[in-house]
Amino acid sequence: PRSCRVVLAPLTRQRSYGNVPQPHAGVYYAQRATKGGLLIAEATGVSDTAQGYKDAPGVWTKEQIDAWKPVVDAVHAKGALFFCQIWHAGRVSNYKLQPNGQAPISSTDKQVSPQMSADGRLEEFSPPRRLAKDEIPNVVDDFREAARNAIAAGVRRC
């Protein structure tokens, strides 16, 4: 019997150099797509402040949207559905990943403790900056725009 993937759970590939999905992402996802299956994309940042991992994809620029299109098309060509998992890493980030080296934004100013990564490296996180109440709508808008951008890239609404 031929195997059939029903759902591909998300993971963090960290191969979207400069936060832009690369052509090999289309190959990766299409190889795992089956007719009627559901593929959930790796965590995809909603803005430049949403990044918590180097080279994780985003969906906030035209370049990123255009880069997602062939990935989504390759999955759809196999008859599978593609779900773009949009996210904001919040305080699980560091200065190096933030615009202009600023503090990560979060609902709290409490820093995440250092953690051991899967490859044995100690990951350290920068102290976050607590969002002011009047800044929260901006993050909500980032999610709204990212959802629209994912649809523009070809992800179908469910």
1 has pLDDT over 60: no
* Confidence band of 5 (pLDDT split at 50, 70, 90): low
Give pLDDT, residue 9: 82
**Gap between the Cα atoms of 88 and 97, Å rounded:** 12
Give pLDDT, residue 2: 59
Q: For the chain, give every domain's residue range.
A: 7-153
- Percent of the chain clearing pLDDT 90 (strictly above): 85
- Percent of the chain clearing pLDDT 70 (strictly above): 96
HSE-CB for 89 with a 13 A CA cutoff:
30
94 has pLDDT over 80: yes
Supply the pTM of this predicted model: 0.91
Domain 7-153: give its CATH superfamily: Aldolase class I (3.20.20.70)
**Residue 101 phi, psi (nearest 5):** 65, 20
Q: Tell me: the pLDDT tens digits for 104-125?
A: 999 999 999 999 987 888 999 9
Q: What is the CA radius of gyration of the chain?
A: 17
Mean pLDDT, to the nearest integer, of 133-137? 97
Matching residue, tokens 């996210």: 87
Mean pLDDT, to the nearest integer, of 58-85? 96
Mean pLDDT, to the nearest integer, of 37-43? 93
**Gap between the Cα atoms of 151 and 84, Å rounded:** 9
Q: Tell me: the pLDDT tens digits for 21-38?
A: 999 999 999 999 999 999
**Gap between the Cα atoms of 88 and 68, Å rounded:** 18
